[in-house]
């Protein structure tokens, strides 16, 4: 059971990484146009003006 002392912090850390990633995506506006992004990836023409 000693391994718990390691596993619990590790799982919490990984979860926190996910939370941080979500926060970053939210800040970058990646949820502003979900429909458009879903379609854009399938277009033939190269998107040379990706949203910064």
Partner 1 sequence: MTATFEHVRPSACPACNAAPAAEHMAELPKDARLMLSLPGIHCAGCISGVEKVLAAVPGVKEARVNLTLRRASVQAGPEVSAEALCTALERAGYEAHELDPGVLATTTADRQGRDLLMRLAVAFFAMMNVMLLSVAVWSGAEGVTRDMMHWISAAIAIPAVIFSGRPFYVSAWSALRAQRLNMDVPITLAIVLAVGTSLYETIHSGHHAYFDAAIALCTFLLAGRYLDHRTRASARSAAQELAALEVPRALRLSAAGEETVSVAELRVGDIVRVKPGGRIPVDGRVTAGQSEIDRSLMTGESLPAFAGAGSVVSAGEVNLTGPLTVEVTAAGQDTALHRIADLVAVAEAGRGNYTSLADQAAKLYAPGVHILSAVAAVGWWLYTQDLRIALNIAAAVLIITCPCALGLAVPAVTTAASGRLFRKGLLIKDGTALERLAEADTVVFDKTGTLTNGAPTPMALDHLREDAARVALALAQGSSHPLAESLAKALATRGLRPAHVTGLNEVPGYGVEGTWQGQAVRLGRAAWLGAEAPEDTATFLQIGDTAPLAITFADTLREGATDVVAALQAQGKRVILISGDTTAAVTRFAQTVGITEVIAEALPHEKAALVADLTAEGAKVLMVGDGLNDTAALAAAHVSISPASALDAARTASDMVLMGRSLAPIADAIRTSVSARKRIRENFTIATVYNVLAVPLAVAGLCSPLIAALAMSTSSITVSLNALRLK
Nearest-5° Cα angle at 24, 18 to 27? 145
The whole-angstrom separation of Cα 5 and Cα 48 is 49
Q: Does residue 1 interact with partner 1 by CB under 8 A? A: yes
Q: How far is the CB of 49 from partner 1 (least distance, A)?
A: 6
Extended strands (E) in 4-52 = none
The whole-angstrom separation of Cα 51 and Cα 49 is 6
Query: Which of the residues 3 through 42 are near partner 1 (CB under 8 A)?
Result: 4, 8, 11-12, 15-16, 18-19, 22-23, 26, 31-36, 39-40, 42
- Residues near partner 1 (CB under 8 A) are 1, 4, 8, 11-12, 15-16, 18-19, 22-23, 26, 31-36, 39-40, 42-45, 49, 51
């Amino acid at each position: 059971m000693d391994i718990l002392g390691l596993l619990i912090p590790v799982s919490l850390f990984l979860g926190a990484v996910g939370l941080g990633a979500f926060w970053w995506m939210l800040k970058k506006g990646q949820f502003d146009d979900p429909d458009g992004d879903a379609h854009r990836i399938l277009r033939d023409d190269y998107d040379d003006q990706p949203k910064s």
